DNA sequence: CGAATTCTTGAGCGCCCTCAAACCATGTGG
DNA sequence: CCACATGGTTTGAGGGCGCTCAAGAATTCG
């Protein structure tokens, strides 16, 4: 299935790949012709459960998706966020058995492409193979930065860093000191990502506001002083490999 | 260069790949014929620095190597350990600009294979391409488990989890409740990996000993009660995808 | 409009940090 | 072979960051 209404999201996805990888016209045509099917999810739904063996890769078309792990006692850890154009489980092609879960945060639309199809694409175009591998690797490098964030920074810098990452990914190349963007996370989501309690997230965000760095209300992040925020967070976007030329 | 003295380590490496990926005889021959050069490092040496652009992939032949990140103020975070047979920066093929560093812990030998060569291999054998991609993905999934470990578990379980991971990777399939293995880490290394202070690592290891779970002296880990240790650590090795058949 | 989340604030406490010093093992050079 | 330096381990003491528990306010959703 290849509904015309999803052409835009496929183009968004291809555009995202193109930012990081040199794709030929033929490569792009192959991607545009890729068969997929569409699944709509409500908020807080499981897209891939831990332990599942998958046969398809996901492309986020709309909404916000998180990678999650759980711990005895009900603790939950978010290990990554995925926005439209991202492929959250591209690695499942090589490792079909999921050891991390995938959950929607907001109502989301996901395009699913079968592993068999992607595998065939990779066999025919090594260049696309490397492009996919690159996306996977950047996901892993982002994970390494999260480890650093959790292991070395305390709450203020840690949560600031989270906001910085999402700002850089969602709001694109940042050229002004103040700007705003929509981030549909609750403070509980931020707590699950930062490895802190929701209560402390609340107090920390108040502290960030008091410092004149940012505000966060109604799912809107208002960055007031980007350079100062980056300094507090020790944020350096190079690990995201956004590579806008 | 392809010194005969390194045939064993190349075979170890190929064996490791074979545990997780189905390789044909031809695939194995290609890998065995791969040109590489050898670099010897003393302990605590930088193998790849943050910000460097690399042209080669590493294979650990001997020793123990860590992936590291640093933070303003001198803090260091270890985000992964690599043992002989591992490829710590396979991802550098797709993302040559390093955003994480690579450092030896003990004196180590590293085989280096040029990106160009690996790329040619991948272009000729999509199956090997997927095998490499798989190794990369498992590295990323291990990273996700580390995020969970740092975000959700407190020191006792966190450090126990670290020991469990290294036990499963170094000591192979575990069939008895008690066993021992060599792990050439100082308590400071463990602190840098666990995101805690070295002082607290010391007290935590004492607590693990008091609980009868393990001992750690002269770089030898003595596991006394593997099932109980796994329970405390909430360790489930499936994320390592060791897949011994 | 009622129910369910989410946000906010307060209070008390505990895990883990920092600082500091002693102890121990290893290796090096005189 | 000892003196010394170096790096790692251990212990103590005090303090702070962030936790848990709890309850009320605000907001969203069915």
A245: pLDDT strictly greater than 60:
no
B182 CB and strand D closer than 7 A: no
Predicted pLDDT at A118 = 97
Phi first, then psi: give them for residue B89, nearest 5 degrees: -130, 45
Q: How near does any CA of chain B get to the CA of A177, in Å? A: 22
Structure confidence at residue B73 (pLDDT): 85
- Strand C nucleotides with an atom less than 7 Å from a protein beta carbon: 5-11, 15-20, 26
Tokens representing B121 are: 């291999």
Each residue of B230-243: pLDDT tens digit?
Answer: 999 999 999 999 97
Residues in chain A with CB shorter than 8 Å from the CB of B129 are 122, 126, 129, 133
How high is the pLDDT of residue B79? 98
Question: Which pLDDT value is given to residue A244?
Answer: 61
CB distance B194–A151 less than 8 Å? Answer: yes
Q: How far apart are CA A10 and CA B89, in angstroms?
A: 31
Average pLDDT over residues A42-67: 96
Task: Indicate the residue of B75, B126, B146 with minimum beta-carbon distance to A122.
Answer: B126
Question: Which member of A95, A100, A126 has the closest CB to residue B123?
Answer: A126
Nearest-nucleotide field for B206 (CA, C1'): D10
Q: Identify, with chain letter, the residue nearest to nucleotide C18 (CA–C1').
A: B197
Confidence of residue B245 (pLDDT cuts 50, 70, 90): low
B203-215 burial code (b ≥16 CB/10 A, e <16): ebbeebeeeebbe
What value does the mean pLDDT take over residues B100-107? 97
Residue with tokens 């995020």: B147
Q: What region does A103 belong to: left with phi over 0, alpha with psi -120 to 50, or beta?
A: beta
Mean pLDDT, chain B, integer? 95
Percent of chain A with pLDDT over 70: 98
Pick from A192, A145, A168, A139: which is nearest to B69 by CA?
A145
CA of B206 vs C1' of D1, distance in Å? Answer: 36
pLDDT 10s digits, B124-164:
999 999 999 999 999 999 999 999 999 999 999 999 999 99
Mean pLDDT, rounded, for B40-46: 95
Mean pLDDT value across residues A212-217 = 96
Whether residue A119 and residue B130 make contact (CB cut-off 8 A), yes or no, is yes
Q: Do B152 and A94 touch (CB under 8 A)?
A: no
C-alpha closest to that of A163 among A188, A193, A199: A193
**Contact flag B238-A97 (C-beta cutoff 8 Å):** yes
pLDDT at A55: 97
CB-to-strand C contacts below 7 angstroms: A 186-188, 198-199, 202-203, 205-206, 217; B 154-156, 158, 195-197, 199-200, 218
Distances (CA, A) of A233 to A158, A182, A220, A237, B56: 7, 20, 19, 11, 32
Instruction: Find the mean pLDDT for residues A187-194.
Output: 98
A171, A60 in Cβ contact below 8 A?
A: no
Quick check: A77 and B145 CB within 8 A?
no
Give the position of tokens 């910000």: B51
Distances (CA, A) of A183 to A42, A63, A64, A196, B163: 17, 10, 9, 19, 38
Q: Answer whether A136 sits within 8 Å of B133, measured CB to CB.
A: yes
Residues from chain B that touch A194, judged by Cβ atoms under 8 A, are 151
The single residue listed with the structure tokens 């002989």 is B84
pLDDT at residue B105 tops 60: yes
> d(Cα A36, Cα A10) in Å, to the nearest integer?
10
Tell me what pLDDT residue B74 has. 85
Number of neighbours of residue A169 by Cβ within 10 angstroms: 18
Q: CA-CA distance, A87 to A227, in Å (whole number)?
A: 30
| Three-state secondary structure string covering A176-217 | CCCEEEECCCCHHHHHHHHCCCHHHHHHHHHHHHHCCCEEEE
CB atoms under 10 Å from CB of A90, counted, come to: 20
Please give the nucleotide, over all strands, whose C1' is closest to the CA of residue B203: D10
Q: How far is the CA of B217 from the C1' of D3 (A)?
A: 28
Q: Give residue A27's pLDDT band: very low, low, confident or very high (50, 70, 90).
A: very high
Calculate mean pLDDT across residues B107-113. 96
Percentage of residues of chain B with pLDDT beyond 90: 94
Indicate the pTM of the whole model.
0.96
From chain A, pick out residues whose CB is under 8 angstroms from the CB of B138.
95
Under DSSP, is residue A44 helix (H, G, I), strand (E, B) or coil?
coil
> Are A147 and B238 a contacting pair at CB < 8 A?
no
Grade residue B4 by pLDDT with cuts at 50, 70 and 90.
Answer: confident
Query: Could you tell me the distance in Å between the CA of residue B110 and the C1' of nucleotide C28?
Result: 29
A15 has a pLDDT exceeding 90: yes
Q: Could you tell me the pLDDT band of residue B172, with boundaries at 50, 70 and 90? A: confident
**A128-183 pLDDT per residue, tens:** 999 999 999 999 999 999 999 999 999 999 999 999 999 999 998 999 999 999 99
Whether pLDDT at A64 is above 80: yes
Of A216, A227, A232, A226, whose CA–CA distance to A178 is shortest? Answer: A226
Nucleotides in chain D with any atom closer than 7 Å to protein CB: 7-13, 17-22, 27-28
Task: Tell me whether residues A129 and B129 touch, CB distance under 8 A.
Answer: yes
- pLDDT above 90 as % of chain A: 94
pLDDT value for B243: 77
Residue B98 is predicted with a pLDDT of 97
- Cβ-based contacts of A71 with chain B (< 8 Å): 148, 152-153, 234
Band of residue B179 on the pLDDT scale cut at 50, 70, 90? very high
Q: CA-to-C1' distance for B45 and D5, Å?
A: 22
Token pair, residue A199, equals 């209560």
Average pLDDT over residues A21-30: 95
| Residues B59-99 pLDDT 10s | 999 999 999 999 998 899 999 999 999 999 999 999 999 99
Residue A48 is inside which H or E element, if any? strand A46-48
Distance of CA B136 to the CA centre of its chain: 12
Taking CA atoms, B225 is separated from B160, B164, B187, B213, in Å, by 12, 11, 21, 5
Q: Name the CA radius of gyration of chain A, rounded.
A: 18
Return all residues near B204 (Cβ < 8 A) that are at least 6 apart.
B155, B156, B159, B196
Reported confidence tier of residue A74, pLDDT bands at 50, 70, 90 = confident
User: Mean per-residue pLDDT for A227-235?
Assistant: 98
Mean pLDDT, chain A, rounded, equals 95
Calculate the dihedral angle through the C-alpha atoms of B190, B196, B197, B202, rounding to the nearest 10 degrees. -60
| Cβ–Cβ under 8 Å, residues A190 and A159 | yes
Q: Do B153 and A241 touch (CB under 8 A)?
A: no
Instruction: Give the model's confidence band at B16: pLDDT under 50 very low, under 70 low, under 90 confident, else very high.
Output: very high
Give the integer Cα–Cα distance in Å for A121 and A125: 6
In percent, the amount of chain B with pLDDT more than 70 equals 98
> Among A138, A234, A241, whose Cβ lies nearest the Cβ of B71?
A234
pLDDT band at A243 (very low <50, low <70, confident <90, very high): confident
Of A67, A132, A140, the CB nearest to B91: A140
Of B129, B137, B151, the CB nearest to A77: B151
């Amino acid at each position: 299935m290849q509904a015309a209404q999803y052409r835009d999201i496929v183009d968004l996805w291809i555009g995202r790949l193109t930012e990081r990888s040199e794709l030929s016209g033929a490569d792009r045509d192959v991607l545009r012709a890729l068969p997929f099917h569409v699944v709509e999810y409500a908020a807080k739904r499981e897209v891939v459960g831990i332990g599942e063996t998958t046969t398809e890769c996901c492309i986020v078309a709309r909404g916000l998706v998180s990678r999650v792990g759980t711990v005895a006692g009900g603790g939950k850890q978010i290990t990554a966020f995925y926005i439209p154009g991202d492929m959250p489980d591209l690695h499942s092609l090589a490792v079909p058995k999921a050891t991390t879960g995938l959950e929607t945060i907001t109502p989301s639309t996901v395009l699913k492409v079968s592993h068999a199809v992607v595998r065939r694409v990779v066999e025919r175009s090594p260049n696309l193979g490397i492009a996919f591998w690159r996306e996977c690797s950047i996901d892993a490098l982002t994970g390494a930065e999260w480890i650093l964030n959790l292991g070395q920074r305390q709450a203020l810098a840690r949560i600031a860093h989270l906001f910085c990452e999402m700002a850089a990914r969602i709001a694109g190349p940042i050229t002004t000191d103040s700007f705003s963007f929509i981030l549909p996370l609750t403070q509980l989501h931020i707590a699950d990502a930062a490895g802190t309690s929701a209560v402390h997230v609340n107090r920390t965000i108040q502290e960030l506001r008091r410092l004149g760095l940012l505000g966060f209300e109604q799912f809107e992040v208002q960055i007031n002083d980007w350079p100062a925020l980056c300094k507090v967070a020790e944020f350096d976007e190079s690990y995201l490999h956004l590579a806008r030329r």
